Amino acid sequence: MAEETIFAKIIRKEIPADIVYEDDRALAFRDISPQAPVHVLVIPKEPIVSVGEATEDQVGVLGHLMLVAQKVARAEGVGDAFRVVANSGAGAGQSVFHLHLHVLGGRPLDWPPG
Protein backbone atom coordinates (compact mmCIF):
# COMPACT_ATOMS: atom_id res chain seq x y z
CA MET A 1 0.00 0.00 0.00
CA ALA A 2 1.35 3.44 -0.93
CA GLU A 3 2.22 5.91 1.81
CA GLU A 4 0.65 9.36 1.63
CA THR A 5 2.94 11.62 -0.42
CA ILE A 6 3.14 15.25 -1.44
CA PHE A 7 1.91 14.17 -4.89
CA ALA A 8 -1.31 12.82 -3.35
CA LYS A 9 -1.88 16.31 -1.93
CA ILE A 10 -1.27 17.82 -5.38
CA ILE A 11 -3.81 15.40 -6.92
CA ARG A 12 -6.38 16.50 -4.33
CA LYS A 13 -5.46 20.18 -4.98
CA GLU A 14 -4.55 20.62 -1.31
CA ILE A 15 -1.23 22.17 -2.29
CA PRO A 16 -0.56 24.20 -5.43
CA ALA A 17 1.22 22.95 -8.51
CA ASP A 18 1.74 24.30 -12.01
CA ILE A 19 -0.54 21.77 -13.72
CA VAL A 20 -0.10 21.44 -17.49
CA TYR A 21 -2.35 18.41 -18.17
CA GLU A 22 -5.06 16.50 -16.34
CA ASP A 23 -7.49 13.70 -17.14
CA ASP A 24 -9.32 11.05 -15.12
CA ARG A 25 -6.24 8.85 -14.69
CA ALA A 26 -3.24 11.17 -14.83
CA LEU A 27 -1.90 14.55 -13.82
CA ALA A 28 1.12 16.45 -15.17
CA PHE A 29 2.75 19.43 -13.50
CA ARG A 30 6.03 21.33 -13.65
CA ASP A 31 8.85 20.05 -11.44
CA ILE A 32 9.55 22.49 -8.61
CA SER A 33 13.30 22.11 -9.21
CA PRO A 34 13.63 21.91 -13.00
CA GLN A 35 16.67 20.16 -14.45
CA ALA A 36 15.95 21.32 -18.01
CA PRO A 37 13.96 24.13 -19.68
CA VAL A 38 11.09 21.63 -19.91
CA HIS A 39 10.75 19.44 -16.80
CA VAL A 40 7.28 18.09 -16.19
CA LEU A 41 6.23 15.22 -13.91
CA VAL A 42 3.52 12.85 -15.13
CA ILE A 43 1.81 10.87 -12.38
CA PRO A 44 -1.06 8.41 -12.08
CA LYS A 45 -3.96 9.53 -9.91
CA GLU A 46 -3.97 6.12 -8.29
CA PRO A 47 -1.21 5.67 -5.69
CA ILE A 48 1.33 3.42 -7.43
CA VAL A 49 4.61 3.57 -5.48
CA SER A 50 7.11 3.02 -8.28
CA VAL A 51 7.75 1.18 -11.53
CA GLY A 52 9.37 -1.51 -9.42
CA GLU A 53 6.19 -2.04 -7.40
CA ALA A 54 3.66 -1.76 -10.24
CA THR A 55 1.48 -4.80 -10.94
CA GLU A 56 -0.06 -6.47 -14.00
CA ASP A 57 -3.49 -4.99 -13.31
CA GLN A 58 -1.95 -1.50 -13.62
CA VAL A 59 -0.69 -2.05 -17.18
CA GLY A 60 -3.40 0.21 -18.64
CA VAL A 61 -2.56 3.24 -16.58
CA LEU A 62 1.17 2.64 -17.02
CA GLY A 63 0.77 2.79 -20.79
CA HIS A 64 -1.47 5.81 -20.49
CA LEU A 65 1.26 7.70 -18.61
CA MET A 66 3.61 7.22 -21.58
CA LEU A 67 1.10 8.77 -23.96
CA VAL A 68 0.51 11.65 -21.54
CA ALA A 69 4.30 12.16 -21.54
CA GLN A 70 4.13 12.32 -25.35
CA LYS A 71 1.26 14.84 -25.25
CA VAL A 72 3.07 17.01 -22.71
CA ALA A 73 6.32 16.96 -24.70
CA ARG A 74 4.46 18.00 -27.86
CA ALA A 75 2.55 20.74 -26.05
CA GLU A 76 5.79 22.05 -24.55
CA GLY A 77 7.39 22.20 -28.01
CA VAL A 78 9.93 19.41 -27.47
CA GLY A 79 8.04 16.53 -29.09
CA ASP A 80 10.95 15.75 -31.43
CA ALA A 81 13.56 15.36 -28.65
CA PHE A 82 12.76 14.63 -25.04
CA ARG A 83 13.62 12.15 -22.32
CA VAL A 84 11.29 10.18 -20.06
CA VAL A 85 12.84 9.05 -16.76
CA ALA A 86 11.35 7.06 -13.89
CA ASN A 87 13.60 6.63 -10.87
CA SER A 88 12.51 3.47 -9.05
CA GLY A 89 13.78 3.02 -5.52
CA ALA A 90 15.81 5.27 -3.23
CA GLY A 91 19.06 3.82 -4.59
CA ALA A 92 18.12 5.08 -8.06
CA GLY A 93 17.29 8.57 -6.78
CA GLN A 94 13.55 8.22 -6.14
CA SER A 95 12.61 10.72 -3.44
CA VAL A 96 8.80 10.81 -3.77
CA PHE A 97 7.20 7.38 -3.48
CA HIS A 98 4.31 7.97 -5.88
CA LEU A 99 5.29 6.83 -9.37
CA HIS A 100 6.21 9.70 -11.68
CA LEU A 101 7.67 10.10 -15.13
CA HIS A 102 10.09 12.99 -15.52
CA VAL A 103 9.64 14.54 -18.98
CA LEU A 104 12.79 16.51 -19.79
CA GLY A 105 13.64 18.56 -22.84
CA GLY A 106 14.76 21.86 -24.26
CA ARG A 107 18.50 21.30 -23.88
CA PRO A 108 21.04 18.70 -25.08
CA LEU A 109 20.50 15.51 -23.07
CA ASP A 110 23.72 13.57 -22.52
CA TRP A 111 23.95 9.80 -22.43
CA PRO A 112 24.66 7.91 -20.23
CA PRO A 113 22.81 9.87 -17.54
CA GLY A 114 24.39 10.40 -14.13
Residues near ligand AMP, by CB under 6 A: 6, 17, 29, 31-33, 41, 87, 93-96
Tell me which of 39, 64, 98, 100 is the catalytic residue.
Answer: 100
**Cα dihedral 96→42→20→110 (10° resolution):** 90
100 is catalytic: yes
At its nearest, how many Å lie between ligand AMP and the CB of residue 3?
13
Whether 72 contacts 103, CB under 8 Å: yes
CB nearer ligand AMP, residue 41 or residue 69? 41
CB nearer ligand AMP, residue 29 or residue 78? 29
Percent helix, strand and coil across the chain, each to the nearest 5: 30, 20, 50
What are the catalytic residues?
100
